[in-house]
Structure 1
Amino acid sequence: MSFSYPVAVKFSEIDLAGVVFNSHYLTWCEDAKMAFLESVGYGPYWFTDHGRLGLVRHAEIDWTASLKPLDHADIRVSVDRLGTSSFSLRHEIWRRGEEPLLAATCVITYVWFDTAAGAKSELDPSFRAALEQSVGEAAPA
């Protein structure tokens, strides 16, 4: 299984250097994460209905190329790691074109949070099972 989320670079996302402002990469990754989780059966309403959240614990971004206005990109999402009470998603942001180019890689770690208890908790077994199907699988280049 692989997952890819499309992005079209808007002029409002560009900084003074003429490339995408850094924080927009995290916004795109959040959108891609929610679409990915929806694709494995855990959309935003599941979290609300079950009193769970995946809170960001750590985010790391490596930029290898720039995206510019009107570029189109795909964010390829895969599960990088599954822990007891956390999981990490790998987001590869590829610029589309005749020769696709990796623009950035973002790995974000989320802590599983029980809203009723107000504390972190172990990953729900069904959620873990859904993510195990995507460990290390990214969409092809």
Structure 2
Amino acid sequence: MSQPIWSAPVRYAEVDQQNIVFNAHYLTYCDEASTAYFRAAGLLGFAEGVRLVTSTITWRGSARWGDEVAVTARCTATGRTSVTFAFTITASGRPCCEVSTVYVYADASGVPQPIPDDVRARLRGDQDRDTGAAAG
């Protein structure tokens, strides 16, 4: 999805003494965006079973109080039990960072489980749109 899937104004409580958004809040923005992504894809039930295992942030700039933060989200890879997402975060149109996350699908006890085929197909559709490949 190339359009922002989630956006919000930077709240005063998110800004640190350097007058910029404290770095941990960017992962909260990604969490909000992933929830919006799963909701838009009709996959909230699947989302309840994913566990974050890796996050990597590449910084480009900072958001400040009063900025509008916007996040794009797209699925970039699916494994047997995992899914990788790429997020791009901007602040009032300025680049802030790119974030890559890996989630593992697991049962209630935390044991990794294979991603169901119907879920995989929906997630793969996002990857296929990025590459121009036909879904299927």
CA RMSD of superposed structures (Å) = 1.8
Q: Where does residue 28 of structure 2 map in the other structure?
A: 27
TM-score under structure 2 length normalisation: 0.86
Give yes or no for contact 1:3–1:78 (8 Å, CA) kept in 2.
Answer: no
Q: How far does residue 2 in structure 1 lie from its aligned partner after superposition?
A: 4.0
Does the Cα contact within 8 Å between 1:2 and 1:134 map onto a contact in 2? Answer: no
Answer yes or no: is 1:129 the counterpart of 2:121: yes
Structure 2 counterpart of 1:82, one-letter code: T
User: Normalising by the residue count of structure 1, what TM-score does the alignment of the two structures yield?
Assistant: 0.83
Q: What stretches of structure 1 of length at least 5 have no aligned partner?
A: none
Structure 2's unaligned 5+ residue stretches are 131-136
State whether residues 58 and 109 of structure 1, in contact with CA within 8 Å, keep that contact through their aligned partners in structure 2. Answer: yes
Q: Give the direction of change, closer, same or farther, for the CA distance of 1:118–1:93 in structure 2 (3 Å limit).
A: closer
Which residue in 1 is equivalent to 2:97? 104
**Bigger fraction of residues in strand:** 1
RCO higher in structure (CA 8 A, sep ≥6): 1
Letter aligned with residue 83 of structure 2: F
* Deviation of the 1:94 alpha carbon: 1.5
Corresponding residue of 1:18 = 19
- The answer as to 2:107 corresponding to 1:114 is yes
State the identity as a percent.
Answer: 24
- Residue 102 of structure 1 deviates from its aligned partner by 1.4
- The residue identity in structure 2 corresponding to 1:114 is D
CA distance in 2 between counterparts of 1:134 and 1:124 reads 16
Q: Which consecutive segments of 4 or more residues in structure 1 shift more than 4 A? A: none
Alpha-carbon distance in 2 for matches of 1:18, 1:71 = 12
Equivalent runs, 1:1-141 vs 2, <5 Å: 1-4=1-4, 5-43=6-44, 46-47=45-46, 53-96=49-92, 100-115=93-108, 118-135=110-127, 137=130
